[in-house]
């Protein structure tokens, strides 16, 4: 209830201002140890990618791009937190405005463009946070790095992030960095993944621990593309798949003025597409690669449906904006209840 009242005020503010205000408010609440900004989620342990998660609900990348707020976010009850997307060098992202609410559809549109303070800053923040949970670090390429040289940036991200990450995600599916999604084409994908897997093996030996490598894909792929990509991912020994990123389509938003903004759409309109994509990925992968489901999870029922469709873990983002932190607990409880009935 308290969050719904606060949301009315937040939604009167510009989107990025409201985002920053909430995060700084969480930081203050953590420092003061305010009890209403802390919650526990009922245990529902699961082992995925060789990692032991206390339950299945995590935070998607994008909310804490620079790992500036890990202590506060950890108090909300997530089983794991993913930070980033981070690029080797700092970059401002796309010009503002670049984040738009579509409240009548419970959606967001963003064209942020990997705005972040760079890998050095993120790693310093992770070390300073002393976060002990499972941390995903989502890495991308700088906007001024040509797509044909993207491997260089991903190699830097993988090597530098490896010592501090629980798992590492290759973001090749954001619609807001020009040409990035072309890396999902099978030939380009293989050329990226094979050397990164070689580097991962070397890093595992060097550091004495294996950090899983995950690929995050778009929801706008065709069935044949998914079939081809699935074989490539398996042949390249990828450890996990996150489905999906935001969509460039506008399902059900015809005539809605805000929906005409360029960028990736998240929230409720993405829900049917992301659910269908998980089902298809589950079918073609046939259990060979674990799945992290994200996109349009706005309720406890949405989360349980995503796990029933094949997701081993789920992540929240836009649902948190509209429903607040209690969604973490509700989704965890719903997933556990649905699984106990199966």
Catalytic residue IDs:
174
In sequence order, what DSSP letters do the residues of 88-109 get, joined into one string?
SS-B--SPSP-EEEEGGGTEEE
Task: Report d(CA 84, CA 242) in Å as an integer.
Answer: 14
Closest by CA position to 253, among listed 98, 61, 95, 100: 100
Contact status, residue 180 vs residue 140, Cβ threshold 8 Å: yes
Contacts of 264 (CB under 8 A, 6+ apart): 109, 110, 111, 174, 175, 176, 245, 246, 247, 248
Task: Report d(CA 183, CA 118) in Å as an integer.
Answer: 22
Contact status, residue 7 vs residue 324, Cβ threshold 8 Å: yes
Contact status, residue 106 vs residue 124, Cβ threshold 8 Å: no
Residue 10: exposed, middle, or buried by beta-carbon count in 10 A (0-12, 13-18, 19+)? Answer: middle
Task: Report d(CA 112, CA 99) in Å as an integer.
Answer: 7
Residue 205: exposed, middle, or buried by beta-carbon count in 10 A (0-12, 13-18, 19+)? Answer: exposed
CA distances from 133 to 22, 62, 75, 186 (A): 22, 18, 11, 34
The distance in angstroms from the start CA to the end CA of the chain is: 31
Q: Is 122 helix (H, G, I), strand (E, B) or coil?
A: helix
């Amino acid at each position: 209830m308290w969050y719904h009242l606060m949301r009315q005020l937040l939604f009167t503010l510009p989107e990025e201002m409201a985002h920053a205000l909430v995060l700084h408010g969480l930081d203050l609440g953590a420092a003061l140890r305010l009890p209403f900004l802390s919650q526990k989620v009922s245990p529902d342990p699961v082992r995925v990618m060789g990692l032991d998660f206390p339950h299945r609900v995590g935070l998607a990348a994008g909310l804490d791009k620079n790992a500036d707020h890990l202590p506060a976010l950890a108090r909300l009850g997530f089983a794991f937190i993913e930070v980033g997307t981070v690029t080797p060098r700092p970059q401002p992202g796309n010009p503002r405005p670049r984040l738009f609410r579509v409240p009548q559809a419970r959606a967001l549109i963003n064209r942020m463009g990997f705005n972040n303070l760079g890998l050095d800053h993120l790693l310093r923040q992770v070390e300073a946070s002393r976060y002990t949970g499972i941390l995903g670090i989502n890495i991308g390429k700088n906007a001024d790095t040509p797509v044909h040289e993207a491997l260089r940036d991903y190699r830097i991200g993988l090597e530098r992030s490896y010592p501090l990450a629980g798992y590492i995600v290759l973001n090749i599916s954001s619609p807001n960095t020009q040409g990035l999604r072309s890396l999902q084409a099978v030939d380009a994908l293989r050329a990226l993944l094979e050397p990164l897997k070689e580097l991962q093996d070397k890093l595992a030996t060097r550091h004495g621990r294996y950090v899983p490598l995950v690929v995050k894909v778009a929801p706008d792929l065709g069935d044949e593309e998914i079939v081809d990509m699935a074989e490539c991912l398996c042949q390249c020994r990828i450890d996990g798949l996150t489905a999906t990123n935001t969509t460039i389509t506008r399902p059900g938003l015809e005539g809605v003025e805000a929906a005409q903004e360029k960028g990736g759409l998240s929230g409720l309109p993405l829900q049917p597409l992301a659910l269908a994509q998980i089902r298809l990925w589950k079918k073609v992968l046939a259990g060979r690669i674990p799945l992290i489901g994200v996109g349009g999870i706005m309720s406890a029922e949405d989360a349980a449906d995503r796990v029933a469709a094949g997701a081993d873990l789920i992540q929240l983002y836009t649902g948190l904006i509209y429903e607040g932190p209690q969604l973490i607990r509700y989704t965890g409880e719903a997933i556990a209840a649905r699984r106990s009935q199966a």
